[in-house]
Structures are given as structure tokens and as C-alpha cells.
């Protein structure tokens, strides 16, 4: 295949989307596909065998870490020369929308697929732009409406997209490297370095962007109510709210260990050396950090929210709090109770941690990326989905890409699932 990627969001920026795209490029390279990446200036000329072309952009006001990148005339020339058979729009919003106009003019017969990774409408609400949320949903739906298939990471996100009028939605799941993320990475020395005491404290761990849309404030507010002689919070990551939150913890004398960004073996050791994963985000379409924590043997203390509820089985691999109708104080009190119950009950932590490892092992990167390849082939072969593509007869939606990837449990109330074609991916 020949694959071109036009992206608003790519390396060296590190987040769930860029890491997934990097995995996709590596998978495509391993299977002898040609790749072109058109996106933000990365300082690189190639990645995993893919040719990179860069452009400039400006911050997107509701979500400053995402840039609105400008389409270059060179992109159009390269796109035409590339002559793709399938075009993949990833999170089309700005650059992808311009790309759509170019594609419809110069390559009107080329089939499109797209993928939905970021709930920008929810981010608008979190950043105080509530009035923009309905418009953002309409714009997202329009940008994806030209696609033969729309891919998203989880069943809960697919249900939301269907409710919003998106059609032909498939699941593109995620994977985990169980050799890297494993309970065997646990380090008592690392634990002791966090607490500066003996290793008898229960370690609560947060991993992710330190920003308010991740609802990290709820984790901190609940932690402030806890007995700090019994437990300790470690925050791995950085972000726009880092300085403000760190200063607030210092002002209130809240004991927290701040590691900054970690990756590779250091990140894997941090997961495995903790005891509970505390993650209260409501803006995830999947939650890769949740899967990494589960693979490392941690029970998850989370909220009943999009993405997270697909991974965590309440009462089995963790505890999920339904915040519907709860005030902020009630959410904080209930989440504190949830965390404290895990701190106090070692048997429950161990049982849930073991179940979490078993659940995480069902997710493989190879199968996740093959879902994308199969979708490309279906689109290029004009295999439009039928009404029974995703079966609802058992009460569980099953995706054709996911059926071989994940053993679904129909009792869960929040579930998920070398032919030479030329492909172009446009990524926002």
C-alpha cells in the first residue's frame, strides 16, 4: 500500500493519538507499505520508513495544545503525485477539512475513511466555550460524512457518534505490549524513592496530561481527604495546568511526587510500582493509560465515562463512579470513598489487579492495526457496510474488525471489539 498522512498532531508531541499513529506507521512499514506523512513541522524527514512533509500552524483556542495547521501548495502537488487508492482522515477538523476540498476537486473518485480520536466538543465545554460545542459536533459530523467508514476506539464512543448522526462507524481498538507493561517491573526501591520512607504506603498513581480537562482536580481533591500516613500520590506527566496544580499542592501541604514525563522502561516501572491507578477523566475516547495500568496489575479507580467504561469492569478490574446528578462535593466525597476502599482492602486490590492483567492481555497492537488495514481494503473494494455489520442481538455490539481481537462479555454494560492497495491518510 501507499499511505500518506496529513496531521495536525504528530511526533515529537506525545499523546494517545501520536503514539497510536506511530504504531500504525511501524505496522505498515513491517508489512511493506509505502507511507507519506503531511503535517506539522516535526524536525524529521522520515519516521518508520515514512516520508514526512511539514507545515506551520497556530494554537486552537479551545484546545491550545492542538494546532490549526495551514495547507501548503506543496501538499497538493505531492498528494496528486502520490495517487492514493484510499484516503484516511484522522480527526478531520481544520487541515483535514482543507484536505477534503483538495481531494474532492483533484481526486473525486478516491474513497475516504476517517477516524475519530478526540472529543473536541467536550473540550470546548471544559475550556469554557460551551456555546461552541453544538457547532463543533456539526462540523465534526460534516468532516466525517464523506467517509465510507468512520473508525473510533471504543464501543461507548461509537454509540455517542451514532447518536450524533455519524454513519458506518467501525471500531479501531488499541493494543498493549504486555512484555513492557507488566507487574514484573515492580520496584521497591522506586516506591521508597517516592515516599522517602519504608514501603508500607499504598501508592496512588496518575499518568497523563496534567490539564483540567482530564479532571485531575477531582483526584487531588479526593486525595486531600485521605490519610497520608497510609497512602501517597504520584503524578506522572506534564501539561498546561502543571505549575498551578503543583503550587496548590504546596500551598495546602498535600504530599505529591511529581515525576514529569516518563517513557519506556521508566514509565513501565512507575506503573508496576504503584498499587492503584487513580484516573477521573471524562474526555477519553479510549484511555490508553488505563490499559497500560491494567496490564501492569493495577486496579483502576475511575469514573463511569466514555472510553474508560469499555476497559474497566466495575467490581472486577476496578471501581467506576457514576457521577450523574452529583454535585462537585458529592463527586469528591464518593470518589474519596472509592479510593479509600481500595487503600484499605489489600485482598480486593490484588484480586482486581490480577483480573486487570488478564483483561489487558486481550488487546494486541497487531490485531488493532490490522483492523485499520481491513477497513482500508473494504473501502477500496467498495464494500459498504450492511445494517447487520454490528450485531445487537445479544445486547453487545460486535464490530467486524474487533470480533477476532477481543472476547466480549455480554454481561458488561459498557462494551467494546499483502495485497497492493494504495492508501492516503490525512490526519488532523
Q: What is the mean pLDDT of each run of 10 residues along the chain (428 residues)?
A: 79 84 94 85 90 87 75 91 88 88 89 88 77 90 93 93 95 94 96 83 96 93 96 95 95 96 96 98 92 98 94 97 96 97 97 98 95 90 49 36 40 40 52
* Cell numbers given for 72: 501548503
Closest among 20, 69, 302, 32 to 176, alpha carbons compared: 20
| R_g (Cα) of the chain, nearest Å | 22
Phi-psi region of 260 (alpha: psi -120 to 50; beta: other; left: phi over 0): left
- Helices and strands in the chain: count of H runs, count of E runs: 15, 17
Q: What is the pLDDT of residue 81?
A: 93
pTM: 0.84
Q: What is the pLDDT of residue 14?
A: 78
Q: Which CATH architecture has domain 183-360?
A: 3-Layer(aba) Sandwich (3.40)
> Where are the domains positioned within the chain?
2-175+364-427, 183-360
If DSSP codes are grouped into helix, strand and coil, which group holds residue 171? strand
Q: What is the pLDDT of residue 4?
A: 76
CA distance 106 to 87: 13
Q: What is the pLDDT of residue 267?
A: 98
CA distance 330 to 70: 45
Q: What is the pLDDT of residue 274?
A: 98
Q: What is the pLDDT of residue 289?
A: 96
> For the domain bounded by 2-175+364-427, which CATH number is listed?
3.40.50.2000
Sheet holding 300-303: strands in order across? 256-260, 231-236, 202-207, 276-278, 300-303, 318-321
CA distance 184 to 206: 19
Give the number of other Cβ atoms within 10 Å of residue 304's Cβ.
18
CA distance 427 to 22: 12
φ, ψ for residue 232, nearest 5 deg: -145, 140
CA distance 152 to 162: 11
Amino acid at each position: 500500500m501507499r499511505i500518506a498522512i496529513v496531521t495536525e498532531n504528530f511526533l515529537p508531541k506525545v499523546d494517545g493519538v501520536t503514539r497510536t499513529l506511530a504504531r500504525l506507521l511501524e505496522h505498515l512499514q513491517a508489512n511493506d507499505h509505502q507511507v507519506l506523512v503531511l503535517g506539522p513541522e516535526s524536525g524529521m524527514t522520515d519516521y518508520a520508513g515514512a516520508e514526512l512533509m511539514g507545515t506551520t500552524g497556530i494554537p486552537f483556542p479551545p484546545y491550545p495544545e492542538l494546532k490549526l495547521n495551514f495547507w501548503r501548495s506543496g501538499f497538493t502537488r505531492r498528494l496528486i503525485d502520490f495517487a492514493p487508492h484510499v484516503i484516511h482522515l484522522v480527526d478531520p477538523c481544520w487541515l483535514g477539512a482543507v484536505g477534503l476540498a483538495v481531494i474532492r476537486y483533484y481526486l473525486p473518485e478516491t474513497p475516504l475513511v476517517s477516524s475519530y480520536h478526540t472529543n473536541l466538543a467536550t473540550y470546548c465545554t471544559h475550556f469554557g466555550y460551551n456555546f461552541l460545542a453544538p457547532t463543533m459536533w456539526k462540523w465534526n459530523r460534516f468532516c466525517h460524512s464523506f467517509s465510507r467508514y468512520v473508525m473510533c476506539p471504543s464501543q461507548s464512543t461509537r454509540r455517542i457518534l451514532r447518536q450524533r448522526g455519524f454513519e458506518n462507524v467501525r471500531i479501531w481498538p488499541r493494543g498493549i505490549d504486555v512484555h513492557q507493561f507488566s507487574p514484573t517491573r515492580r520496584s521497591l526501591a522506586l516506591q521508597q524513592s517516592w515516599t522517602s520512607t519504608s514501603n508500607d504506603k499504598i501508592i496512588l498513581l496518575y499518568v497523563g496530561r496534567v490539564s483540567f480537562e482530564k479532571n485531575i482536580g477531582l483526584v487531588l481533591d479526593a486525595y486531600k481527604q485521605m490519610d497520608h500516613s497510609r497512602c501517597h500520590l504520584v503524578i506522572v506527566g506534564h501539561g498546561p495546568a502543571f505549575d498551578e496544580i503543583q503550587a496548590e499542592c504546596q500551598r495546602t501541604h498535600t504530599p505529591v511526587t511529581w515525576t514529569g514525563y516518563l517513557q519506556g522502561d521508566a514509565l513501565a516501572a512507575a506503573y508496576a510500582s504503584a498499587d492503584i491507578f487513580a484516573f477521573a477523566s471524562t474526555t477519553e475516547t479510549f484511555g490508553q493509560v488505563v490499559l497500560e495500568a491494567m496490564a501492569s496489575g493495577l486496579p483502576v479507580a475511575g469514573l463511569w465515562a466514555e472510553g474508560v467504561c469499555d476497559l474497566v469492569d466495575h467490581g472486577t478490574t476496578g471501581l467506576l463512579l457514576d457521577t450523574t446528578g452529583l454535585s462537585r462535593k458529592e463527586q469528591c466525597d464518593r470518589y474519596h470513598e472509592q479510593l479509600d476502599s481500595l487503600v484499605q482492602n489489600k485482598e480486593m486490590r490484588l484480586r482486581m489487579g490480577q483480573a486487570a492483567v488478564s483483561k489487558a492481555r486481550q488487546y494486541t497492537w497487531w490485531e488493532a492495526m490490522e483492523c485499520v488495514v481491513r477497513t482500508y481494503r473494504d473501502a477500496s473494494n467498495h464494500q459498504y457496510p450492511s445494517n447487520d455489520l454490528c450485531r445487537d442481538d445479544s445486547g453487545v455490539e460486535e464490530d467486524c474488525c474487533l470480533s477476532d481481537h477481543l472476547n466480549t462479555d455480554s454481561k458488561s454494560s459498557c462494551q467494546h471489539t499483502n495485497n497492493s492497495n494504495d492508501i492516503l491518510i490525512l490526519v488532523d
